[in-house]
Amino acid sequence: MVEPLYEPFKNFQFGHQHCFLSGKKLQSSAESISVFPLWFIKRFGLEEKAFKLLDESITTYKDIKIPCEMGINEQYLEPLELEIENAFAAGYRGLKTLPEQKLFQWIAKLVYGIIYHEIRQGMRQQAAQGENFNLSQSLQFKFSKLHLMLQSLMRPVVFEGINPWSICLFKLDQEPDFFSYRDEINTLSFSLRAGDFGIIACLQDNGTNAAYHRDILEKISDHSLQPIQFEEICARFFYSAYLFNRLPEYTVFPTDEAIFVEAMPLQGISSKPIFDHWENKTYGQVLENFWKPWGFVLLEITKDPDHPMSFLLDEQGTFKQNFSI
């Protein structure tokens, strides 16, 4: 008999009593893990680094925890963390050789862990006010599908056809100990800038954001990026993820051997383009946020409304290798 999939969003099972991944009842509240693993926290000195939650409250990276069965952690999560830690130690070169699904699983664990923490926080706050917790149907759908894919950590899951994600890895020229993390849970977007590499991921887009930016990715793929260049490509991805107007659906076939997950065509019965219209002014606002460390403001970025400021491409559309900020 095929073991049924755990679906926490059916009855909003987000307490301390059940494992976030398997749903099994825990023996004690001590069975928990940090969303950001200990090796990661130590490597980048994040023990007391502030992390802002959606309600604007502040916690630390080490204090974002989720309930996890000890056996699940030892058998499935710790081996993944060891593999990722070793890849990080080798930097861009190590991550380049890592199977993409492993990187997806690790990123998805981080993002889903934060989602889990945010939901629990919201449920507690609403309960204190005597109100029921509400989450939009579309977000429930997205988050539940992300959890389904995350179960590939502990049971065979085969992604048939196209992968449900876009993941792009970049070589960076920056200080070896630098760290910057960003996510946007509504669009399931993620970026990480650390050491000599940067990662951008859209966790549920069926590869469309990478396809949307194919031209520029081809122009920069053989180059090391400066930090300001990486943040520019991040801004492009985060904005296009916002413009992405489909809610991807997947057919799920559980069998005795594996769970087969296949992405349904995004076009469906709609003639509407998959991405809404790109507005340079709105993109400029996104870019202004990503470029805060360099102090560029919207007026400078969109001085030419048809051609926002760029450190990636010159006026001829070729990669900028030499520039001053």
pLDDT tens for residues 213-259? 999 999 998 899 999 999 999 999 999 999 999 999 999 998 888 99
Do 123 and 272 fall into the same domain?
Answer: no
In angstroms, rounded to a whole number, what is the distance separating the alpha carbons of residues 113 and 31?
Answer: 15
Do 267 and 303 fall into the same domain?
Answer: yes
Q: b/e string for 249-276 if b means 16 or more Cβ within 10 A?
A: ebeeeeeeeebbbebeebeeeeeeebbe
Give the structural domain span for 30.
Answer: 1-155
Do 285 and 311 fall into the same domain?
Answer: yes
CA distances 76 to 21, 102, 111, 184, 325, Å, are 10, 12, 17, 26, 45
DSSP state letter for 181: E
Confidence band of 269 (pLDDT split at 50, 70, 90): low
Our count of domains for the chain comes to 2
* 149 touches 108 (CB < 8 A): yes
Please give the pLDDT value at position 82.
Answer: 97
Give the residue ranges of DSSP H helices in 46-99: 70-72, 78-89, 91-96
In angstroms, rounded to a whole number, what is the distance separating the alpha carbons of residues 86 and 241?
Answer: 30
Residue type, 149: M
Do 316 and 258 fall into the same domain?
Answer: yes
Do 109 and 184 fall into the same domain?
Answer: no
Do 208 and 134 fall into the same domain?
Answer: no
Q: What is the mean pLDDT of residues 86-93?
A: 96
In angstroms, rounded to a whole number, what is the distance separating the alpha carbons of residues 262 and 265?
Answer: 10
Q: Indicate if the pLDDT at residue 163 is higher than 80.
A: yes
- The domain boundary, picked from 155, 170, 186, lies at 155
Which of 3-7, 95-99, 158-162, 220-224 has the weakest average pLDDT? Answer: 3-7
- The domain boundary, picked from 155, 190, 206, lies at 155
Do 131 and 187 fall into the same domain?
Answer: no
Q: What is the mean pLDDT of residues 202-223?
A: 96
Do 138 and 282 fall into the same domain?
Answer: no
Do 263 and 307 fall into the same domain?
Answer: yes
Q: What is the DSSP string of 16-61?
A: SSB-TTT-PBPS-TT-EEESS-HHHHHHTT-TT-EEE-TTS-EEEG
Element (H, E) at 227: helix 227-243
Do 110 and 201 fall into the same domain?
Answer: no
* 117 touches 183 (CB < 8 A): no
- The domain boundary, picked from 155, 173, 200, lies at 155
In angstroms, rounded to a whole number, what is the distance separating the alpha carbons of residues 122 and 133?
Answer: 7
Q: Which residues pair with 109 in a beta bridge?
A: none
Do 52 and 194 fall into the same domain?
Answer: no
Do 78 and 173 fall into the same domain?
Answer: no
